[in-house]
Amino acid sequence: MVAGRRWRLWLAVSLAAAALGAAATGYWWLYLRTEPGMVRYDPDARLDPARTYSLQLWDYRWPTAPDGTPYESWLRSTLAEFGRRHPNVRVEYRLLDPAGGAAELEEALRQGRPPDVYATWPGQPVFYDRRLQVPADLYFTREERGRREAPPAYVAAALRAAGHGGRLSAWPRFLVAHLWPGHREALARAGLDVRAVTGQGWDWNSLSAALSARPEREAGLIVNPLGTAAFEDLLHARAGPSGSPLWTRQGVAEVAAWLAQLRHSELLTVPAPEEAGDVPIGHLLGGRALAVAGASPWLVAKLAYLQPGGPGDGPLVLLPVPTPPGNPPALRLEASVLIVFRQRDYQGHNHTRAAVELARYLSTARHPWALPGTPILPAYRPAWEEWRMAGGFPPALVPLVESSSGPEGGDAGAATARARHLADASEALAAFWSGRLDHRALAERLGREAPPAPPAPPWWRRLLP
């Protein structure tokens, strides 16, 4: 009898210990998955069918896509489809002006009232506020994360670009590749094998040789004198796909010296800033330039669709940016992501779930600008596969989209510092292009000492999903 009682007692104690242990483990796991000082998340929360959720979506006022799809009507129909899937979720959208949208978001964050979902302009920060931003990885399903037998739902470069500080901060939407548009026939006339250039990449020497071999009347390589894109492309190609710092003194010096040499040999055409639209477009479409460096990806996408034959079959070809000899091909990407925010007046886990579902849905819907044959790539893997099969994208760069070695997305602080630096760089480069600043002075002005390597993340970070 006594032995029987002891057995029951032991069983009860063991069960209690197991329950306590499980609770502690669960708490520990939740603790690890929650940033210090942050409110808790409940990724298991579901939509309550008896409740109506009202979401605010902030997106940008995108121009009509090159294939003629007006952005707002596309967004309306996409949201209507979302509404059919989630009848109790109402979405109000607001289209921001690209020039002032970032400031509006920052103001809304200061007031603690950001939109539920914010679709970033490419290149904007992917991380803003620990207290208000909902980490995407907490809500990723097993399928989205990828398994041994199936890759993640988004291409690796997009996941990398949507991450910050080792976590996935947002839902990837699309990627913008900085490529140089070239003229197929003009490149061939200069002795370049276009298929080899797009299939394996090219280096500074092969570009210089082609520029020297081109017919005399042709403009060679046209450099966009506005902004920093052309120079940044080359810096990035020099730094390689590892995402190491671009604006180092040595990097700026090398790129500037190479460009100065090309210019000295009259292989470069740098139009006056006021002709930075007419000259590249006219020469490129007329087949009187090999390629244009630093053209806006949106301009490249539009020209691809305006050319005779349309994208892929027309005279325009998308080229990788040439690298210094010996470097592997490189790809400069910017990402547009969907960020889920919660408000200071918290509306509950179910509301957050509704916002997550909207971000997820929009991340899988193909953005109207992510058209095959343009430098705008869908981030959602099924759409990417289809996009890639349509052709037009340099095969040499495909592995770079599918590898996760690119840079992570930035935060708001880094974006402000970068904007300040780019404004300064833009001014210095204008002086460089106009001949008022030589390549040594440019390197002196813009080059920075390479920053020390960032500290390794703590060991427990590796345990996180």
Partner 1 sequence: MGEGRWKRALRVAAVALLLLAALQVSAPRGQGPHRTAEARAAGPCGPDRTLRPAVPPQRGPDVVELQERLRELGLYAGPVDGVYAGGTVAAVRELQRRRRLPPTGEVDDRAWLLLDDPGGRPGRSEQAASAPPPGRVAIDIELATQTLTVLVDGRPFRTFTVAIGKPWSPSPPGEWKIVEKAYESGGAFGTRWLGLDVPWGSYGIHGTNRPWSIGRQASAGCIRMHNHDIEQLFDWVEVGTPVTIRGELPSELWGTYRLGSAGLVVVALQVRLREAGFSAGRADGRFGERTQAAVRGLQSFYGLPADGVAGNAELYLLGLKRPAEQGRTGGGTRPPLPGDPGGMRLGRRP
Contact letters for partner 1, residues 13-52 (x by CB under 8 A): ----------------------------------------
How long, in residues, is the chain?
465
Q: How far is the CB of 44 from partner 1 (least distance, A)?
A: 41
Helices 439-446 and 249-264 pack at an angle, to 10 degrees, of: 160
Q: How far is CA 152 from CA 131, 163, 367, in A?
A: 27, 14, 19
Q: Which is nearer to partner 1, 16 or 423 (CB)?
A: 423
Site residue total, partner 1 (CB under 8 A): 37
CB count, 10 Å around CB of 435?
10
Are the beta carbons of 373 and 302 closer than 8 angstroms? no
- 458 is a contact residue toward partner 1 (CB under 8 A): no
Closest CA to 447 of 177, 195, 201, 257: 257
Q: How far is residue 454 CA from its own chain's centroid?
A: 21
- 296 is a contact residue toward partner 1 (CB under 8 A): yes
Main-chain dihedrals φ then ψ at residue 339, nearest 5 degrees: -105, 135
Are the beta carbons of 173 and 368 closer than 8 angstroms? no
- 123 is a contact residue toward partner 1 (CB under 8 A): no
CB count, 10 Å around CB of 260?
17
Q: How far is the CB of 369 from partner 1 (least distance, A)?
A: 11
Two tokens at 212? 């020297």
Q: Could you say which of 6, 46, 51, 61 contacts partner 1 (CB under 8 A)? A: 61
CB count, 10 Å around CB of 321?
28
- 274 is a contact residue toward partner 1 (CB under 8 A): yes
- 159 is a contact residue toward partner 1 (CB under 8 A): no
Q: Could you say which of 55, 91, 119, 295 contacts partner 1 (CB under 8 A)? A: 295
- With vertex at residue 435, the alpha carbon angle to CA 434 and CA 441, rounded to the nearest 5 degrees, is 120
What is the spatial distance between Cα 157 and Cα 378, in angstroms, rounded to a whole number? Answer: 11
Two tokens at 255? 């790129």
- 275 is a contact residue toward partner 1 (CB under 8 A): yes
Q: How far is the CB of 271 from partner 1 (least distance, A)?
A: 9
Q: How far is CA 227 from CA 177, 293, 296, in A?
A: 17, 12, 10
- 192 is a contact residue toward partner 1 (CB under 8 A): no
Closest CA to 269 of 45, 433, 388: 433
Q: Which is nearer to partner 1, 302 or 439 (CB)?
A: 302
Q: How far is the CB of 240 from partner 1 (least distance, A)?
A: 25
Q: How far is the CB of 356 from partner 1 (least distance, A)?
A: 29
Q: Which is nearer to partner 1, 67 or 106 (CB)?
A: 67
- 455 is a contact residue toward partner 1 (CB under 8 A): no
Q: Could you say which of 53, 71, 82, 174 contacts partner 1 (CB under 8 A)? A: 71
- 121 is a contact residue toward partner 1 (CB under 8 A): no
- 98 is a contact residue toward partner 1 (CB under 8 A): yes
Q: How far is the CB of 311 from partner 1 (least distance, A)?
A: 12
Q: Could you say which of 115, 315, 320, 410 contacts partner 1 (CB under 8 A)? A: 315
Q: How far is the CB of 198 from partner 1 (least distance, A)?
A: 21
- 287 is a contact residue toward partner 1 (CB under 8 A): yes
What is the spatial distance between Cα 246 and Cα 336, in angstroms, rounded to a whole number? Answer: 21
What is the spatial distance between Cα 444 and Cα 435, in angstroms, rounded to a whole number? Answer: 16
**309 DSSP 8-state letter:** T
- 306 is a contact residue toward partner 1 (CB under 8 A): yes
At which residue do the structure tokens 């703590």 appear?
458
Closest CA to 120 of 57, 70, 177: 57
Q: How far is the CB of 275 from partner 1 (least distance, A)?
A: 8
Q: Which is nearer to partner 1, 308 or 325 (CB)?
A: 308
- 119 is a contact residue toward partner 1 (CB under 8 A): no
Q: Which is nearer to partner 1, 136 or 281 (CB)?
A: 281
Which residues here bind partner 1, judged by CB under 8 A? 61-64, 68, 70-71, 98-99, 224, 226-227, 229, 273-279, 281-283, 285-288, 295-296, 298-299, 302, 306-308, 314-315
